[in-house]
Amino acid sequence: MNMIQALNSAMDIMLGRDPAVVLMGEDIGYFGGVFRATDGLQRKYGEHRVLDTPIAEGGIVASAIGMSVNGLRPVAEIQFADYIYPGFDQICSELARIRYRSAGEFFAPVTIRTPCGGGIRGGQTHSQSPEGIFTHVSGIKVVMPSNPYDAKGLLITAIEDDDPVIFFEPKRLYNGPFDGDPNKPAVPWSTHPKGQVDEGYYKVALGKAEIVRSGSQVTIITYGTMVFVAAAAAAAMNIDAEIIDLRSLVPLDVDTIATSVKKTGRCVIAHEATRFSGFGAEILSIVQEECFWDLEAPIQRVTGWDTPYPHAFEWEYFPGQARVTRALKSVLEPA
Amino acid sequence: MSQYIFKMPDLGEGTVDAEIVAWHAKPGDQVTEDQIIVEVMTDKAAVEVPAPVSGRVVSVTGAPGEKVAVGSPLIVFELTNGANAADAPAAAPPRPSAPEPSTPQPATLQPAGSQPAAAVTRQGRVMTSPANRRRAHEAGVDLTTVAGSGPGGRIVRSDVEAAIAPSAGLKIAADIGALPLTTEIKVIGLRRLIAERMSEAKRNIPHFAYVEEVDVTELESLRLYLNGSAPKGAGSLSYLPLVVMALIQVLKSYPQCNVLYDAARGVLVRHRAVHVGIATQTPDGLKVPVVRNAQALGLWEIAAEIRRLAERARTNKATREELVGSTITVTSLGKLGGIASTPIINAPEVAIIGLNKAVERPVVHQGGVVVRRIMNLSSSFDHRFVDGYDAAAMIQALKEFLEHPATIFIPTVKSS
């Protein structure tokens, strides 16, 4: 399966297993979603389970909250993460705090799916990576898979979770892994082991990172698209890097991070999102707190530039292999 | 004519002052750069301080036995040609400005034009990674005395490792002698230091003494066998390295005994590495040279290191680094070991293990009276931080290893 099919399978299974699960979003029903993630599900489960909504993200999130406190388990799609901001007040002020504000009497099992990230010539309105904004809000979980297998297992876990989860889908990875080089022919998921996805129900836990490759020289902490970019850069340099795919940013698997950096003594953090106050800064702080006395070199971040995601010069903006290589060289200097 | 004020240099880790042992120059003397002008005593070693410049000594501070604070004026020179330290006259024979290491070292030991001093001293903050700081701290190496070979003079891992290696110490001179031969002996230098440290330890630490007898019959037979089959030149084994090996095993389960007490901060600092102090009698008095990272050494290496350090301590060749930084101490009087003793803890450590004399004794063994070789262990613990129960259990664990010596060399199985 590719990642779209894996997500579709997760929602199909959950609609079948739990009558409280409903899908909602712009063009997700009759049309099947702009990326086809909900293709066929309205036909299969009906208009009352798979709802087309107006183009009003604030309203989508608000009605999902209302439905969730009244016993449903909505999975809302925001068509692009770039369009999530009209729902931001609902997410921060209502969704994240229902459980707290009602002293545990109400809770909001809402999952918000939204495609994120660049690499698709989408310009500033279809390429953003706003995950760090949501990790800063207490009360919501933030997930970003990097492959079809994890995407399905994590989405099922997110839907079953009784608290709100924002589920970011790196859209450049929908159809295949991407190593950061746009000139290479596209590779389908069918050639990748993580494209082998179980047809049935299974879960991947939130808060558990995956060591994609174990190594001894340096730890690369990353998630989403950058997992493959970082792996390709390390392989091209022929270094023994340990690559950690966080999968879930909140909750964060601090143990796996700290154990790895204590072992290698060197750390590079990579994400597509902008650098300043980005999620990389949080990881960097945690590594510093947990691993200070084991650090052989200053921690490096590889990120997007602190500008809007551009329409032109996309590959100068995107943190490709060259920038990962530069950071790796810098942390591997003798120290 | 200009004057040059030479201040008491920082001679090593945490030194706040140094005691004058002997002056080799007096006011009015003409000295050349690098000539030894004064011998001072830091906390355990004598250091010869060379003149930083050539010139005439105008005045000196501190009589033998007096302490001079680091950073306060020590000697005032009058420079013959008004030159400053950096372009002192070339009268002195050319020589490297850095200490002469016995192993090859990176070329960039000291920036050109810096003052020669007893140690490579660094201005400002040490540049190195946190991991290197920890390595240096654990090994008791003062990073301000380590030259950096990395970019911008940064201290890199290999520099720290070279400094940890026993042979790459400072050029610290040996002889604290030249004391007047009179019947009246001034308590200065090493003796004063021993006296101060002993009374401080005895005054501040509530000692808990514990004596246990150990049947070393099997240990003795292992020792004799190893000595009989040792390669030529390996030297013969005493009980000491065997006890050190066993102690390292025991400390894995009793980390509270491998501790330094930082009284100023109210913190007990547990050490992963075991740096074993070996109480050593020398002509000048008690010294405690340190087998560094003993946990990483094998039996013969420990034995060789103890022999090497004892010899250097006895002949006054031990560097400051070889005499500080132990985390636990072992003391043995060998044939003078007696049946029990009450060793004084080598503060800021919290435990000291004493070996008494091993003798053959009639003992009841498996229902009959047999001759067995028995050695007592007399140990002291800092009762503030090590409870009597734990101290006793630790010595019992040590006894188990020594009575079944094969287990010393079998990797421990983590239980519970």
Question: Residue B222 belongs to what domain range?
Answer: 206-409
Q: Of the candidates B296, B358, B312, which has an alpha carbon nearest to the alpha carbon of residue B332?
A: B358
Q: State whether residue A332 sits within 8 Å of chain B by CB.
A: no
Per residue in A28-63, is it b (16+ CB within 10 Å) or e — as a string?
Answer: bbeebbbbebbbebbeebeeebbbebeeebeebbbb
User: Cβ contacts (< 8 Å) between A335 and chain B: which residues?
Assistant: 128-129, 131-132, 150, 154, 156-157
pLDDT at B176: 43
Interface probe for B, chosen from A289, A295, A329, A330 (most Cβ of B below 10 Å), is: A295
Contact B151 A295 (CB under 8 A): no
Residue numbers of A between 248 and 267 with CB closer than 8 Å to B: 265
Q: How confident is the model at residue B413 (pLDDT cuts 50, 70, 90)?
A: low
Q: Is the peptide bond before A251 cis (omega within 30 degrees of 0)?
A: yes
Token pair 């997700």 in the structure block, residue: A28
Residues B92-100, mean pLDDT to the nearest whole number: 40
Q: Tell me what percent of the residues of chain B surpass a pLDDT of 70.
A: 82
Please say whether the beta carbons of A242 and A211 come within 8 A: yes
Whether residue B82 is predicted with pLDDT greater than 70 in this model: the reply is no
Residue B134 lies in a domain: no
Q: Of the candidates A218, A68, A255, A262, which has an alpha carbon nearest to the alpha carbon of residue A158?
A: A68
Contact B130 A294 (CB under 8 A): yes
User: How is B191-214 classified by DSSP, letter by letter?
Assistant: HHHHHHHHHHHHHHS-EEEEEEEE
Contact B156 A293 (CB under 8 A): no
User: How is B113-172 classified by DSSP, letter by letter?
Assistant: TPPP-SS---SS---B-HHHHHHHHHHT--GGGSPP-SGGG-B-HHHHHHHHSGGG----
- Which candidate from A293, A333, A335 shows the least CB-CB separation from B134? A293
Q: How confident is the model at residue B183 (pLDDT cuts 50, 70, 90)?
A: low
Pick the more confident residue, B180 or A194.
Answer: A194
Q: How confident is the model at residue B412 (pLDDT cuts 50, 70, 90)?
A: low
Same domain, B210 and B337: yes
Please compute Rg for chain A using Cα positions: 19
Same domain, B228 and B364: yes
Q: Nearest C-alpha of chain A: how many angstroms from B198?
A: 34
Residues B130-137, mean pLDDT to the nearest whole number: 90
Quote the mean pLDDT of chain B.
Answer: 81
pLDDT at B87: 40
Q: How confident is the model at residue B415 (pLDDT cuts 50, 70, 90)?
A: low
CATH number at residue B38: 2.40.50.100
Residues B378-398, mean pLDDT to the nearest whole number: 94
- Which candidate from A292, A294, A334 shows the least CB-CB separation from B150? A334
Q: Nearest C-alpha of chain B: how many angstroms from A152?
A: 40
Q: State whether residue A333 sits within 8 Å of chain B by CB.
A: yes
Whether residue B191 is predicted with pLDDT greater than 90 in this model: the reply is no
As given in the structure block, the two tokens for residue B271 are 């050490």
Q: How confident is the model at residue B13 (pLDDT cuts 50, 70, 90)?
A: low
How many Å apart are CA A162 and CA A204, to the nearest integer? 16
Contact B132 A335 (CB under 8 A): yes
A/B interface, count of CB pairs below 8 Å: 30
Q: State whether residue B127 sits within 8 Å of chain A by CB.
A: no
| Least trusted range by pLDDT, from B116-120, B310-314, B315-319 | B116-120
Distances (CA, A) of A77 to A48, A64, A163, A168, B20: 16, 10, 17, 10, 80
Per residue in B275-309, is it b (16+ CB within 10 Å) or e — as a string?
Answer: bbbbbbebebebbbbbbbbbbebeeeebbbbbbbb
Residue B370 lies in a domain: yes
Q: Nearest C-alpha of chain B: how many angstroms from A239?
A: 19
Taking residue B413's Cβ as centre, other Cβ atoms within 10 Å add up to 5
Whether residue B162 is predicted with pLDDT greater than 90 in this model: the reply is no
DSSP-derived letter for residue A80 is S
Distances (CA, A) of A268 to A24, A182, A207, A334, B251: 38, 23, 20, 16, 36
Please compute Rg for chain B using Cα positions: 24
Q: What are phi and psi of A61, to 5 degrees?
A: -65, -45
What does the pLDDT profile of chain A (335 residues) look like in tens digits?
999 999 999 999 999 999 999 999 999 999 999 999 999 999 999 999 999 999 999 999 999 999 999 999 999 999 999 999 999 999 999 999 999 999 999 999 999 999 999 999 999 999 999 999 999 999 999 999 999 999 999 999 999 999 999 999 999 999 999 999 999 999 999 999 999 999 999 999 999 999 999 999 999 999 999 999 999 999 999 999 999 999 999 999 999 999 999 999 999 999 999 999 999 999 999 999 999 989 999 999 999 999 999 999 999 999 999 999 999 999 998 77
pLDDT at A312: 92
Beta bridge partners of residue A304, listed in sequence order: A274
Burial class (CB in 10 A: 0-12, 13-18, 19+), B401: buried
Residue B230 lies in a domain: yes
Return the residue of B nearest to A265 by Cα.
B131
Q: Is the peptide bond before B348 cis (omega within 30 degrees of 0)?
A: yes
Q: Domains (ranges, CATH) in chain A? A: 3-195 (3.40.50.970), 210-332 (3.40.50.920)
Distances (CA, A) of B227 to B211, B234, B239, B359: 28, 9, 11, 19
Return the residue of B nearest to A264 by Cα.
B131
Residue B110 lies in a domain: no
Whether residue B236 is predicted with pLDDT greater than 70 in this model: the reply is yes
Amino acid identity for residue B361 in this structure: R
Residues B328-336, mean pLDDT to the nearest whole number: 88
Residue B369 lies in a domain: yes
Please say whether the beta carbons of B166 and B304 come within 8 A: no
Residues B92-121, mean pLDDT to the nearest whole number: 40
Number of domains comprising chain B: 2
User: How is B54-123 classified by DSSP, letter by letter?
Assistant: -EEEEEE---TT-EEETTSEEEEEEETTS--GGG--TTSPP--SS---SS---S-SS-TTPPP-SS---S
**pTM for this model (two decimals):** 0.55
pLDDT at B351: 95
Residue B151 lies in a domain: no
Residues B206-233, mean pLDDT to the nearest whole number: 90
Contact A335 B130 (CB under 8 A): no
- Final residue of a domain: which of B58, B76, B99? B99
Contact B132 A296 (CB under 8 A): yes
Q: Nearest C-alpha of chain A: how many angstroms from B167?
A: 22
- Final residue of a domain: which of B69, B99, B129? B99
Residues of B taking part in catalysis: 383, 387
Residues B346-360, mean pLDDT to the nearest whole number: 93
Q: Of the candidates B307, B384, B306, which has an alpha carbon nearest to the alpha carbon of residue B345?
A: B384
Q: How confident is the model at residue B85 (pLDDT cuts 50, 70, 90)?
A: very low
Residue B120 lies in a domain: no
| Per-residue pLDDT tens over the stretch B238-260 | 899 999 999 999 999 999 999 99
Q: Of the candidates A162, A258, A146, which has an alpha carbon nearest to the alpha carbon of residue A204?
A: A146
CATH number at residue B394: 3.30.559.10
pLDDT at B81: 57
- Final residue of a domain: which of B67, B99, B131? B99
- Which candidate from B128, B130, B158 shows the least CB-CB separation from A293? B130
How many Å apart are CA A156 and CA A175, to the nearest integer? 20
Greatest C-alpha distance within chain A: 63
Whether residue B354 is predicted with pLDDT greater than 90 in this model: the reply is yes
Q: Nearest C-alpha of chain B: how many angstroms from A335?
A: 4
Taking residue B311's Cβ as centre, other Cβ atoms within 10 Å add up to 13
Q: How confident is the model at residue B414 (pLDDT cuts 50, 70, 90)?
A: low
pLDDT at B151: 79
Q: How confident is the model at residue B104 (pLDDT cuts 50, 70, 90)?
A: very low
Residue B318 lies in a domain: yes
Q: How confident is the model at residue B69 (pLDDT cuts 50, 70, 90)?
A: confident
